[in-house]
Chain A
Amino acid sequence: QVQLVQSGAEVKKPGASVKVSCKASGYTFTNYAIHWVRQAPGQRLEWMGWINTATTNAKYSQKFQGRVTITRDTSASTAYMELSSLTSEDTAVYYCARDRYASGSWWFDPWGQGTLVTVSS
């Protein structure tokens, strides 16, 4: 079945960087883009950006521009999200999700299980 499996929880100090992985299986990796979405405790979902897994072109939310980098390794069917200059406000669960499109609509399906990133001194 189609699934995305993410790397495990991370604890980072302020100012550090974190890199989260998202391994895809059950489909051709380069046929679908991958998005990254985060959710701080008790907060709404927040879209961070996406990568065209066939071309490596990436697009980022203005909020995270300059601080986030999304990459992929086609040989490993894995996408990565690296966030730098971490602060306590970056404490959140980070999700990857596969891009879907039909009839003028876009949606995310499936989602990874989520990776908790805790930023604390």
Chain B
Amino acid sequence: SSELTQDPAVSVALGQTVRITCQGDSLRSYYATWYQQRPGQAPVVVIYGKNNRPSGIPDRFSGSSSGNTASLTITGAQAEDEADYFCNFRDSSGNHVFGTGTKVTVL
């Protein structure tokens, strides 16, 4: 199956750590990419590949993977991290699949 499932919502206290997960059988074979989408804005990539951050993305964002689950961890969450987060992968045929999305609330 190429479906990717995420928890609908998580909350984190300011300065604390939160982990967002993405589950799917295809993640046993492919790395997940993670996108952050603030309200009313286009998505922005925060993690790609094994654990790579584009320039400009704070090092409090990190990625990991185990079995059929990919994770995005925000260590020391800031108010500006409040957003929707989507995982994504590209299969061998060139098709892209997005996860269901997780809304992160910073308390």
By a CB distance below 8 angstroms, the chain B residues around A105 are 31, 33, 48-50, 52
Q: Give Cα distance in the complex from A47 to B49, angstroms.
A: 19
0/1 per residue, A53-65, Cβ < 8 Å to B?
0000001010000
B92 vs chain A, min Cβ distance (A): 11
A111 adjacent to B42 (CB under 8 Å): yes
Within 8 A of B (CB), among A3-48: 35, 37, 44-47
Quick one: which of B31, B97, B99 contacts A104, CB cutoff 8 A?
B31
Count of interface residues, chain B, beta-carbon cutoff 8 Å:
24
**Interface residue? A80 (CB, 8 A):** no
B48 adjacent to A46 (CB under 8 Å): no
Q: Give Cα distance in the complex from A37 to B37, angstroms.
A: 13
Secondary structure type dominating chain B contacts? strand
A59 adjacent to B42 (CB under 8 Å): no
A59 adjacent to B94 (CB under 8 Å): yes
By a CB distance below 8 angstroms, the chain B residues around A110 are 42
Within 8 A of A (CB), among B88-107: 88, 90, 94-101
Count of interface residues, chain A, beta-carbon cutoff 8 Å:
24
Which residue from chain A places its CB closest to the CB of B6 in the assembled complex?
A44
B43 adjacent to A106 (CB under 8 Å): no
A112 adjacent to B42 (CB under 8 Å): yes
By a CB distance below 8 angstroms, the chain A residues around B86 are 44-45
**Interface residue? A71 (CB, 8 A):** no
Quick one: which of B50, B52, B95, B98 contacts A45, CB cutoff 8 A?
B98
Known: A105-B52, A109-B54. A45 touches B33 (CB 8 A): no
**Interface residue? B61 (CB, 8 A):** no
6 interchain pairs, CB-CB under 8 A: A44-B101, A45-B35, A102-B48, A105-B48, A105-B52, A111-B42
Could you list 19 further interchain pairs (A-B, Cβ under 8 angstroms) beyond the known A44-B86, A108-B45? A35-B96, A37-B98, A44-B98, A44-B100, A44-B101, A45-B35, A45-B37, A45-B101, A47-B96, A50-B94, A95-B43, A100-B48, A102-B52, A103-B49, A103-B52, A104-B49, A105-B50, A108-B43, A111-B43
